[in-house]
């Protein structure tokens, strides 16, 4: 039986994260891809796609979910994820505009999910990703 050598990961590989972005705005999806492309990212446009993706793969370090989506909204994506995959619910972040936040304010007050109000700096999202990945 041979000896298996384990090569150390490079700094970039060691920091590579898995992120699910749930966003219906194509411009913001393109920004996420450009800024976070060195990570393993999955981009989906609808709440239904998000739930299907989460059903198949749950090893995301972070889920960044818009509140207002075609079909199932971000709150429902979170609630179904929390019910079916509670370990992933702790890795959710909502990204939304102030109008959307007001629409969902009552519900948002009852759940403990960080909220990034659009427009937000990508540095804030990078920090959230690192904190979530190091839990």
Contact status, residue 32 vs residue 43, Cβ threshold 8 Å: yes
Please list the pLDDT of the chain residue by residue as tens digits (135 residues): 444 434 344 444 447 899 999 999 999 999 999 999 999 999 999 999 999 999 999 899 999 999 999 899 999 999 999 999 999 999 999 998 877 777 888 888 889 899 998 889 999 999 988 887 776
- Residue 92 sits in a domain of what CATH number? 3.40.50.2300
Residue 98 covered by a domain = yes
Residue 4 covered by a domain = no
Contact status, residue 51 vs residue 77, Cβ threshold 8 Å: yes
* Both structure tokens of 47: 């709440």
For residue 29, count CB atoms less than 10 angstroms from its CB and return exposed for 0-12, middle for 13-18, buried for 19 or more: middle
Residue 50 covered by a domain = yes
Residue 117 covered by a domain = yes
In degrees rounded to 5, what are phi and psi of residue 3?
A: -90, 130
Structural domains of the chain, count: 1
Residue 1 covered by a domain = no
Residue 3 covered by a domain = no
Q: How far apart are CA 94 and CA 65, in angstroms?
A: 5
Residue 17's pLDDT is 93
Domain span at residue 119 reads 15-133
Nearest to 91 by CA among 59, 47, 124, 56: 59
């Amino acid at each position: 039986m041979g000896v298996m050598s384990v090569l150390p990961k490079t700094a970039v590989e060691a920091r590579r994260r898995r992120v699910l972005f749930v966003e219906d705005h194509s411009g913001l999806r393109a920004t996420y891809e450009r800024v976070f492309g060195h990570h393993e990212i999955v981009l989906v446009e609808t709440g239904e796609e998000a739930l299907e993706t989460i059903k198949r793969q749950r090893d995301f370090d972070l889920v960044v979910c818009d509140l207002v989506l075609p079909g199932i909204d971000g709150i429902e994506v979170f609630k179904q994820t929390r019910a079916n995959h509670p370990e992933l619910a702790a890795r959710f972040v909502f990204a939304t505009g102030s109008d959307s936040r007001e629409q969902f304010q009552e519900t948002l007050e009852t759940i403990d999910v960080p909220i990034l109000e659009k427009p937000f700096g990508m540095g804030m999202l990078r920090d959230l990703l690192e904190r979530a990945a190091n839990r």
